[in-house]
Structure 1
Amino acid sequence: MTKKQLYGKLLAVLVGGLLVCSACHHTDTSGAEISLEKMNGFPSGNAAFLKGVSALYAGITEDRLIMAGGCNFPDIPVADGGKKVFYNEVYATPLSSDTAFRWKQVGFLPVASAYGVTISTQKGLICVGGTTADGSISDVFLLSLQEDVLVTDTLPSLPMTIDNMAGALIGDLLYIVGGNVNGVPSADMYSLDLSNMDKGWQKEPGVPGEPRVQPVCAAQGGKLYVWGGFAPAADGREATLSVDGYVYSPETRVWTSVATPVDKEGKSISLGGGAAVPWGEEAILCIGGVNKDIFLKALQGIYSGKEYLSHPAEWYQFNKNLLLYYPAKDEWSSLGEYEQGARAGAALVADGVYAYIINGELKPGIRTNEINRIKENRK
């Protein structure tokens, strides 16, 4: 298998541990205490979807958690040549303080897809780009609920196809960063002004450094933070895996480097394939991501495709650390190691009280249908 073929196989299976207790507690060095609970209930109408998906669209609107799309290998494992299946079902469940979900299918996406960006707004969920079984897309649409019935509105399309990117909202400006732009790994950034959508998408200054497929991104304090991502070898350029991060100021339109994610021992962590959300008004919560050394070797072709895909889940060493980044101090803090966070392609959705880790990969090609909930126990 050539390096290009291996990259295609890896990207096809990567986007986002066994639960050992129903409620785990941990206190980090900064004094923040959290609880982590397994949620009960998952849509059961589609046996293939019930196996769990990765790279789905997910967010919160009108006190409902919504899951849409996603993909998995429901029949034959990818290591044995299985075919990836994409989904178009949209499910919603009311949110409450208990651990029971009551899912209901409310409609369908315009097309079965995954690997896009979801932005929660007061009007609904904005779903941006992604890819289908036939290739990458430029579609952008708004999902909203009217009496538990899905309503889909079309928004300005991207100026090109983009998938495997990250994104966040600052005020009325929706940003997407990195990913594959027209099939080419990129560090580009684009914005859409939701208060003036007639202008369409605008190109912004790109993230410094190498292209970033599957970075993580979150907004905090009116600024945009980005970490991680990877790019395959192409056009004489070696494969790269980024662990560093940058912050973007919409006011100055300038990127500035920020601290690299680290564990309690100070070792750098890759967040590529992970997820990030604002945590209160002072921090950013980051979960998951591939192991930087193992995945880079795979990108470099050191492992054959079959060899790389055939190990048990623990061999891949996905990031178990639940991390908090504090912009004011430019510092990282670990909330502890949790198997429930060791995911690639999981969705991470926050409602101001809880953060939900939704599905994702346990290893390349193998998904979980677990949903776990993180809560900060304030003193």
Structure 2
Amino acid sequence: MKKLLCAVSALMMTSLTLTACSDANATEKTELKKILWEHAGDLEPQKGFEKNIGTAGLLSGKAGDYIIVGGGANFPEKSPAEGGAKKNYPDVYVLEAKDGKLNQVDHTTLKYEIGYGSSITTEEGVYYIGGSPDEKEADNVTLFTTNEKGKLSSKSIGDLPFTFSDGVSVKSDNNIYVGLGKQNGEPSNKFYKFDIKTGKTEELAPIPGEATRNQAVSQVLNGDIYVFSGGDKIAYTDGYKYNIKENTWSKVSDVQIEDEKISLLGANSVKLNEDEMLVIGGFNKEIYDDAVKNLNSLKDEELAKFKEKYFGTDPQEFNWNKKTLIYNSAKDEWKSIGEIPFEAPCGEGLILDEDYIFSINGEIKPGTRTNRTYSGTLVFELDSSI
């Protein structure tokens, strides 16, 4: 079977692009082989600020022809080691992707600040679940859309019976499946179904394993819901599948490449196709576990010294996951297609747009964000024998 590598993108050299286009009618994408990254432009400052230092825990997704990203949190005045306060933002940006670059077409502000909710890209637009420091808004289910000119609109779909952040949400048919994270401010493993048409919420079987699970990654693959990693007092590397029809969970492969188990705590994911999801980011389990232990056990001067050293460490030394990971549900296995050429982000906006993927902002070490936005060109293997 004859196979050739092709990147369907203007980023590739002209000769390669012409070769790919000439074979386009006779080929079919079979496997994502790698991603070619470049800088894609940065977001302008939030309103009232002179500089955008980046945020984590963003609203992010694609609505129609436009990308929506915004909200999130950072430490604008001082680092956490110095007692700096975390700030959330009401700013939402609408961006248009063109040749791997993102051009701003709208910048508006909501009536309240958002951050660390859960975003779902759908044909209707981008659903945003929970995620606000304002308790009156932290149970919201909101649909963000854009018109043909990129003007942003939002519509309230209903409310959850609890405030929600740091969890997972996916959509299947007319239901949003939401859970884990922090519910009414407390870490949880509870899982629910929110009916978009009626606004009613039904409690389902809780996820197995740990009793609390924050900042996991999740996607719907072949009609089932997959949830991986997350953490609380320690970082997890396990995985589970939820059967929607039977309301049951079953164990699937841990996040593992060869002999290395990988934490995806704080990472983000996109759905590539019915079988596969792609993940970027994730805290290092060993360093995270040690930090949580020390931050919760040390006191007074010892705690102050640990915080100063911990939050002053360079991003590279935290050893966050830089592998670009793909999970295949049909094979129940993980693989890596290389590493990202920039500092590993957690809590970033990660959006798939045809043959591009965008990584927007995120945390690059505890307490520190990046204002960088990156564009990745998806390079597929093509099958020309069909």
Alignment TM class, shorter chain as reference: 0.7 to 0.9
Counterpart residue type for residue 371 of structure 1 = T
Contact between 2:176 and 2:195, CA under 8 Å: does it hold in 1?
yes
Cα distance, 1:372 vs. partner? Answer: 1.7
CA distance in 2, matches of 1:199, 1:45: 33
Contact between 1:68 and 1:109, CA under 8 Å: does it hold in 2?
no
SS of the equivalent of 1:314 reads helix
Change (3 A) 1:215 1:140: same
Change (3 A) 1:219 1:297: same
Aligned to 1:18: none
Structure 1 unaligned residues grouped into runs of 5+:
1-21, 24-29, 232-238
SS of the equivalent of 1:308 reads helix
Cα distance, 1:116 vs. partner? Answer: 0.1
SS of the equivalent of 2:309 reads helix
Cα distance, 1:74 vs. partner? Answer: 2.0
Q: Any residues of structure 2 matched to 1:182-221 within 5 Å, and which?
A: 182-194=184-196, 196=197, 198-210=198-210, 211-221=212-222
Aligned to 1:86: 88
| Shift >6 Å, 4+ stretches | 133-136
CA distance in 2, matches of 1:353, 1:206: 36
Counterpart residue type for residue 273 of structure 1 = G
Aligned to 1:17: none
Task: Quote the sequence identity (%).
Answer: 30
Greater RCO structure (CA 8 Å; 6+ sep): 2
CA displacement 1:282-309 (0-9 Å, x = unmatched): 2110110100011111222267334322
Cα distance, 1:181 vs. partner? Answer: 1.0
Q: Any residues of structure 2 matched to 1:325-344 within 5 Å, and which?
A: 325-340=327-342, 342-344=344-346
SS of the equivalent of 1:298 reads helix
What is the TM-score normalised by the length of structure 1?
A: 0.84
Aligned to 1:285: 278
Q: Which moved more, 1:366-375 or 1:251-260?
A: 366-375
Change (3 A) 1:80 1:286: same
Largest Rg, 1 or 2: 2
Change (3 A) 1:366 1:133: farther
Aligned to 1:229: 230
Choose which of 281, 289, 299 in structure 2 pairs with 1:296.
Answer: 289
Q: Is 2:237 aligned against 1:243?
A: yes
Cα distance, 1:101 vs. partner? Answer: 1.9
SS of the equivalent of 1:137 reads coil
Contact between 1:136 and 1:183, CA under 8 Å: does it hold in 2?
no
Structure 2 unaligned residues grouped into runs of 5+:
1-10, 13-30
SS of the equivalent of 1:37 reads strand
Cα distance, 1:188 vs. partner? Answer: 1.2
Change (3 A) 1:136 1:145: closer
SS of the equivalent of 2:130 reads strand
Aligned to 2:119: 118
Cα distance, 1:213 vs. partner? Answer: 0.8
Cα distance, 1:353 vs. partner? Answer: 2.5
CA distance in 2, matches of 1:45, 1:55: 15
Choose which of 35, 50, 53 in structure 2 pairs with 1:51.
Answer: 53
Change (3 A) 1:155 1:136: closer
Contact between 1:41 and 1:103, CA under 8 Å: does it hold in 2?
no
Change (3 A) 1:341 1:324: farther
CA displacement 1:185-223 (0-9 Å, x = unmatched): 1111112233x3x25122111110111011111111111
Aligned to 2:316: 314
SS of the equivalent of 1:156 reads strand
SS of the equivalent of 1:95 reads strand
Aligned to 2:138: 137
Change (3 A) 1:104 1:199: closer
Choose which of 241, 252, 256 in structure 1 pairs with 2:250.
Answer: 256
Change (3 A) 1:371 1:57: same
SS of the equivalent of 1:300 reads helix
Contact between 1:73 and 1:365, CA under 8 Å: does it hold in 2?
yes
Counterpart residue type for residue 205 of structure 1 = A
Aligned to 1:366: 368
Contact between 1:106 and 1:148, CA under 8 Å: does it hold in 2?
no
Contact between 1:127 and 1:141, CA under 8 Å: does it hold in 2?
yes
SS of the equivalent of 1:325 reads strand
Alignment RMSD (CA, Å): 2.2
Contact between 1:320 and 1:341, CA under 8 Å: does it hold in 2?
yes
CA distance in 1, matches of 2:290, 2:182: 21
Change (3 A) 1:246 1:89: same
What is the TM-score normalised by the length of structure 2?
A: 0.82
Q: How many pairs were matched up?
A: 341
Change (3 A) 1:48 1:201: farther
